[in-house]
Amino acid sequence: MSNKMWGGRFSDKPADIMTEINVSIDVDRKLFRQDIAASKAHAQMLAKQRIISPQDAKKIVHGLDKILSEIAGGKFRFKRSLEDIHMNVESRLADMIGPAAGRLHTARSRNDQVATDFRLWVRDVLDELDAALADYQRALAQKALTHAATIMPGFTHLQTAQPVTFGHHLLAYVEMASRDLGRFADARKRLNESPLGSAALAGTSFPLDRMMTAKKLGFDRPMANSLDAVSDRDFVLEALSAASIAAIHLSRFAEEIVIWTSPIVGFLKLSDQFTTGSSIMPQKRNPDAAELVRAKAGRIIGALQGLLIVMKGLPLAYQKDMQEDKEGAMDAFAALALCIAAMTGMVRDMMPEKARMKAAAGEGYATATDLADWLVRELKMPFRRAHHVTGQIVAIAEGMDLPLEKLALADMRKVEPRITQAIFKVLSVENSVASRKTFGGTAPANVRREATKWLKQVSRKRSGKVRGR
């Protein structure tokens, strides 16, 4: 027997392998809430427009509510023979209310139905990620405020560069998360148009009120072109692109956590809650949560690449290829949500080794730039000349195996006779970070101000007063 939902044209059932490759219910069953919400809005609109009777619409809506309760309660039996979430819901609705269920699909296609459902689903996910990233920002800002004056080395090329504060370093990731939030907000704004009512590809001859269904579903407006409405997956690509950038940011921080918790570096400790042991080496404490965050970025980026490849050669309008838009995306968004939660937990859990950080901040002649700046400021020396003089002094200190602040004034004067005892005031790591008071600098006062600002902003955001930065 052919499929009762679309089998009028067919006299035989699909081959088993055809059923297997065609079925999507294992994936799109996750759209059940969105599918039922869109169907209810469609039925209510059809009744308002007198396309179906109010009685049939009432039966449909009541039946859909019961189906929602069944699925949410784990009592609904999904049938792979019915291919997808749309057919499963409609078939169950027919069992419940009889022929009236057949009126629900009036002026609608699975093409505009799935496009609507998936937009609603992605929108819900973006709202969840928005809240998760805000919580991550709060954890970072709180830790930054606590460690506004905790000194650590700043790096370029993974070489000791200049002293910074741990709080300043953490606030860099707050800024990254802010841009991630902005990208997700932009993606949400662009996706918030309704495909419903576009039918298969050409619109419909029924007098639909597409603005009504759009508003009922929280969309800003209906999509303006029916061909675009059923075939567009930019909204998934854009959300995945933002997710990939967010995953890269998390992965970069995870990499630092892996490095910093190594006994060789020893900047951070993580508790038992975010580390694991070894099956053979009893001394090990492995930062597996950070390592997995780093690895899962690959899955998220891979989902974006996969969908780009699916979409790159598709002519208008809907193609069955688009059935492959969901599984990778759903996996990617779930992975990102897990990564954000794990990183938030690690930020709250991490314990910086202040003494080790401070000692490392002074290694590698990290205050050499402060020496050069002093030569410019006090001796009115051109910076390029000051850079050369400082390099010579560093070479002397390195040859004597001494830090800059331990090098004798007489040795410095061999290079530049005008250097005075005052030079030693700028060579400490404390004075170095304290002097970086320009906007965006690492001075503890700056860090405290920025961390406090972010904490207030996140609190306002959670109370619904602002969205993004």
CB-side neighbour CA atoms (13 Å) of 125: 28
- Is 278 an active-site residue? yes
Q: What is the pLDDT of residues 350-369, one digit of tens each?
A: 999 999 999 999 998 999 99
CB 186 within 8 A of CB 97: no
Q: What is the pLDDT of residues 143-174, one digit of tens each?
A: 999 999 999 999 999 999 999 999 999 999 99
| Residue from 157, 205, 279, 463 carrying the catalytic annotation | 157
| Residue from 53, 69, 262, 278 carrying the catalytic annotation | 278
Mean pLDDT of all residues in 334-354 = 98
CB 107 within 8 A of CB 207: no
d(CA 169, CA 144): 8
Could you tell me the pTM of the whole model?
Answer: 0.93
Question: What Rg value do the Cα atoms of the chain yield, rounded?
Answer: 30
Q: What is the pLDDT of residues 54-85, one digit of tens each?
A: 999 999 999 999 999 999 999 999 999 999 99
Task: Please state whether 179 falls in left (phi above 0), alpha (psi between -120 and 50) or beta.
Answer: alpha
- Is 168 an active-site residue? no
Mean pLDDT of all residues in 188-208 = 98
The answer to which of 96-105, 129-138, 273-282, 416-425 has the lowest mean pLDDT is: 273-282
If pLDDT is split at 50, 70 and 90, which confidence band does 278 have?
confident
CB 390 within 8 A of CB 371: yes
Q: Which residues of 342-352 are buried (b: 16+ CB within 10 A; e: fewer)?
A: bbbbbbbbbeb
Give residue 467's pLDDT: 45
d(CA 360, CA 340): 29
Mean pLDDT of all residues in 461-467 = 61
Mean pLDDT of all residues in 24-53 = 97
Q: In 3D, which of 110, 119, 158, 99 has the Cα closest to residue 34? A: 119
CB-side neighbour CA atoms (13 Å) of 205: 0
Residue spans of alpha helices (H) in 350-443 = 354-361, 368-379, 383-399, 409-413, 429-434
Q: What is the pLDDT of residues 424-447, one digit of tens each?
A: 999 999 999 999 999 999 999 999
The set of residues, in sequence order, having a beta carbon less than 8 Å from that of 282 and lying 6+ positions away, is: none
User: DSSP string spanning 166-234?
Assistant: HHHHHHHHHHHHHHHHHHHHHHHHHH-EE-TT-TTTT--SS---HHHHHHHTT-SEE-S-HHHHHH--H
CB 436 within 8 A of CB 448: no
Hey, which residues does 160 pair with through a beta bridge?
155
Give residue 284's pLDDT: 87
Give residue 224's pLDDT: 98
